Amino acid sequence: MRLLVTASDDKKLQVLELAKQRFEEKNRGAVIDIEPLPREILEQRMRNGNPPDLIEWDGSHIGELLDRNTVTDLTSLVQDGAFELSDYYPSVLGACMNQGRLGAIPVMAEVPGVFYNKAQFDQAGVPYPKEDWTWEEFVKKARKLNIYDSDGEVIRYGAYLVPRLLPVEPLAWSCGGAFLSEDGSKASGYLDSPATVETIRKYLEMFHPLEVTPFEDVGKDTWIACFIHHKMAMYYDANWTIKPMRPEHREQFGVVMPPRMGDSPFRNIVQVYGYCISAQCSDAGLAWAFLQELASPHTDSGREWAKHNLAASRSVAEISGQLSDPLYSPFLESLATAKQGAFDVSSMKLWDFWNNDIFQNWILRESRINIEERLKKIAEQYDDSR
């Protein structure tokens, strides 16, 4: 009895190693082979018809994987009661299903939010942001929180907006726009719609001319330093930012879901991670048994995922303490109505035409970009490629 599973990064490798140890102790003769493998090599193997038995899933359109017979439909297997599907947050489970088929078991999720430095708000006399706030309120607070030196140079930014596309999409939804149609098949009329154009324009204005956010890609190793050293007062990024915080950091920050840019209720964007059983797996029973060890909220390894990202199920959220945590709980609440974004729905096909490099180039070129014209061209290129 032998099973192959790959790991694309160290955190997944750690959980897989724990699951392997527990599973092999309980099942004498079973061998779980774990192969560290970059995501792009895994995808190449899948295209070549040589996938591992258990496939690491990054949220790409599960319907396509099922339709191509790349992964196994788990609907009949889950009837054994090993996983209580109602325990998963709606948006997380929704990402794993297509037309009544279950293609993956989720282990963790990620959604964006706005962190704010309470001390800097207090010093400036600016009220903390509240849920269901608007983009206008966000901009107003950011402008009040900007601090300049005697030469007019910014020494503290009121906000930090990541120069990446994923957190822009939920803002477009709240404005009545979208990057793609719901099924990911069409961009024209969505990516180039007036609402989406206006969203992109307003986001770019925060860099220029308002200058309330710096143009730099602040990552996991530097974002807390930027906050601690008073370089920015608000930070718009995903829940992963909580993990590096020490106790003294946590007390300094509050968190609120992103603001509405339009009149529609805010709906967050979710990225979901999990595991699928390959349709070519020669021992689906063994794969299913190991998947239970790896992903169940009742196992050590299943609960371990919450140490790395947002819990996928209510049980793990409660056991891990995320549910009662003032920083994590707003993110968990947003999973009730969140949905996958255009890049996942299109299985990253949109990325070939509309990506962070293009977006960052627009930021650098400031007002010389005709946003409407550019988005229209990208939408046409995407549609022509389908």
Half-sphere exposure of 105 (CA within 13 A, CB side): 28
What architecture does CATH give domain 112-267+348-385? 3-Layer(aba) Sandwich (3.40)
b/e map 75-97, b = 16+ CB within 10 Å: eebeeeebbeeeebbebbbbbbb
Q: Which residues contact 82 (CB under 8 A, 6 or more apart)?
A: 288, 292, 296
Asked if 85 and 78 touch (Cβ cutoff 8 Å), the reply is yes
Task: Determine the pLDDT at residue 229.
Answer: 59
Instruction: Quote the pLDDT of residue 25.
Output: 95
**How many CB atoms are closer than 10 A to CB 143?**
14
User: Tokens representing 121?
Assistant: 């708000």
Domain ranges of the chain: 2-110+271-342, 112-267+348-385
Quick one: pLDDT at residue 222?
A: 61
How far apart are the C-alpha atoms of 47 and 164, rounded to whole Å? 28
Angle between helices 284-295 and 10-26 (to 10 degrees): 120
Cα–Cα dist 285/288, whole Å? 5
- Backbone φ/ψ region at 288: left (φ over 0), alpha (ψ -120 to 50), beta: alpha
Residues of the chain with pLDDT under 70: 217-230, 366-367
| Alpha carbon of residue 15 to chain centroid | 20
> What pLDDT sits at residue 221?
56
Question: What are the φ/ψ torsions at residue 147 (nearest 5 degrees)?
Answer: -125, 135
What is the reported pLDDT for 10? 92
Q: In what order do the strands lie in the sheet with 105-110?
A: 31-36, 2-7, 54-57, 271-277, 105-110, 310-311
3-state secondary structure the chain: CEEEEEECCHHHHHHHHHHHHHHHHHCCCCEEEEEECCHHHHHHHHHCCCCCCEEEECCCCHHHHHHCCCECCCCCHHHHCCCCHHHECHHHHHHHEECCEECCEEEEEECEEEEEEHHHHHHHCCCCCCCCCEHHHHHHHHHHHCEECCCCCEEEECCEECCCCHHHHHHHHHCCCCCCCCCCCCCCCCCCCHHHHHHHHHHHHCCCCCCCCCCCCCCCCCHHHHHHCCCECEEEEEHHHHCCCCHHHHCCEEEECCCECCCCCCCCECEEEEEEEECCCCCHHHHHHHHHHHHCCCCHHHHHHHHCCEECEHHHHHHHCHHHCCCCHHHHHHCCCCECCHHHHCCCHHHHCCCHHHHHHHHHHHHHCCHHHHHHHHHHHHHHHC
Q: Is 146 left (phi over 0), alpha (psi -120 to 50) or beta?
A: beta
Does the fold of domain 112-267+348-385 match that of domain 2-110+271-342? yes
Tokens encoding 154 = 């910014």
Task: Name residues whose C-beta falls within 8 Å of residue 208's C-beta, 6 or more positions apart in sequence.
Answer: 363, 366, 367
What CATH class has 2-110+271-342? alpha beta
Residue 43: φ, ψ to 5°: -65, -35
The whole-number pLDDT of residue 217 equals 62
Q: What is the mean pLDDT of the chain?
A: 93
